[in-house]
Structure 1
Amino acid sequence: MPKVNTKLVSWDEIVNWTYSLSKKIEESGWRPDIVVSIARGGYIPARLVCDFLDINDLVSIQVLHWGKAAEITATAHVRYGFQADLKGKKVLIVDDICDTGDSIIVAKEYIEKNYSPGEIKVAVMQWISSVAKIKPDFYVDEVKEWVWYQYPWTRAEDTTNFIEKILVEYSKSGRNELTLKELIETFREWYGIDVGDRYYKLAIDKLARQGKIRIVGEEKIIVQQR
């Protein structure tokens, strides 16, 4: 059975990491004129960095790369840009994590080409140095062994995708029915985390609405649709 090395991230960790990140930026002596968050993962870290550094100007650029949790399903590309005058300005790009680094590279090149900034630097909470194509200017943790960071803002989405992976694997082995209890136990075993009843329910309800599963009986038997 496929398993993914996963870290369940708390909100307290996010606040602590972004505070540490802000201190690193401040201590460097370099102060950005504007912060650009990479959507969607960079929204919250960027806002917290702005708060800690007392920066008012914040915009966002959306770069698509990751599809389902822990799966790269497309070439990184800009989906939505923004309107702002960045000519000659110091720009800080903020994302949650630098994994492959593709989203950051694409965002940086897009900003350089379309907005003529004076200088661009990059800040993230985690830098997975073993696989990243770039090294951010500012980061909190260097992660040498790949791990999927399960941030609070993607918990429902990731839980849904992880559960779907489990159901696919069970289907491959010829089993198309299992209880909710079995499903949750498998989830905890494969990913080493427990997201809580709220997120399991959200994920199951979403898969049911999509017609991918049916829920049968009081024991909540999960039946995969063919």
Structure 2
Amino acid sequence: MMARELTLLGRSFLLLAWEDIMEQVEQLASKIEKTYSPDMIVGILRGGLFVANLLSDILGIDEVHPLGLKSYRGVGERGEVKIYHWPRLPPLESRSVLLVDDVSDEGKTLQTAINRIILPLGAKMVKTAVLHIKPWTTFHPNYYVVVTSSWILYPWSRYESWRQLSKMHAELTRESEAAQTLLSVLGISRERAARLVRDGAV
């Protein structure tokens, strides 16, 4: 399965397989290595850490640190960015940092990470890299691959997408054609989806 656009529930989706992610990460790495040689990578949980680990492998950068930030307040809403996992970073004087996430939506997460964590620790330089940016983002990373306004269905967050969409569209909690189509696209069994509804996860 390769990347494809689809329309469902009146929305546009970009469905990505792991093969697509690997191809896009390689494109991202090619852009980075032309102009930047970071000493370390900081990956924003959760999706950004997948990208960060792949970049570290391609670029040969062993030092990777996770950073937990979240700006989603509710379904379809975004509030104040909160830090829930502080990275155990060494002093960053004379260090060049690559800050990585999967997508720059509004851009608040990346901006907060830079202003509240990376720069206060004295980084000599920090540049940012993502796979995707949204047209409305207020923060433009130094490196990115694709601009899209679609809802991105990443392979590492299929269940999260199902939970969010089920809360936004009541028909997904029933045996509807839309529910069957989305479950097929996401690769989630009906039994698993039913348990999520029964257990109150959606």
The TM-score range, normalised by the shorter chain, is: 0.7 to 0.9
- What is the aligned counterpart of 1:187 among 156, 179, 183? 179
- The one-letter amino acid paired with 2:157 is T
Displacement over 2 Å in runs of 4+? 1-4, 66-69, 111-114, 163-166, 200-204
Deviation for aligned residue 1:38:
0.7
Deviation for aligned residue 1:76:
1.6
**Is the counterpart of residue 15 in structure 1 residue 22 in structure 2?**
yes
In structure 1, C-alpha distance between the alignment counterparts of 2:197 and 2:62, rounded to whole Å:
40
Contact in 1 for aligned 2:28/2:131 (Cα 8 Å): yes
In structure 2, relative to structure 1, the CA distance for the partners of 1:138 and 1:56 (3 Å cut) is: same
**Is the counterpart of residue 56 in structure 1 residue 47 in structure 2?**
no
- What is the aligned counterpart of 1:102 among 108, 111, 123? 108
Structure 1: gaps of 5 or more residues: 171-176, 213-226
**Is the counterpart of residue 3 in structure 1 residue 36 in structure 2?**
no
Structure 2: gaps of 5 or more residues: 1-7
The equivalent of 1:205 in structure 2 is 195
Contact in 1 for aligned 2:45/2:69 (Cα 8 Å): yes
Deviations 1:141-184 (A, max 9, x none): 133xx2111101110121122123222xx5xxxxxx94x2x2xx
Aligned-CA RMSD value? 2.5
In structure 1, C-alpha distance between the alignment counterparts of 2:153 and 2:51, rounded to whole Å:
14
Contact in 2 for aligned 1:65/1:75 (Cα 8 Å): yes
The equivalent of 1:136 in structure 2 is 141
**Alignment TM-score, normalising by the size of structure 2:** 0.85
In structure 2, relative to structure 1, the CA distance for the partners of 1:105 and 1:197 (3 Å cut) is: closer
% same residue: 23
Deviation for aligned residue 1:138:
0.7
Aligned length: 194
Contact in 2 for aligned 1:157/1:203 (Cα 8 Å): no
- The one-letter amino acid paired with 2:85 is Y
Deviations 1:175-222 (A, max 9, x none): xx94x2x2xx12367x79822343x4333212211287xxxxxxxxxx
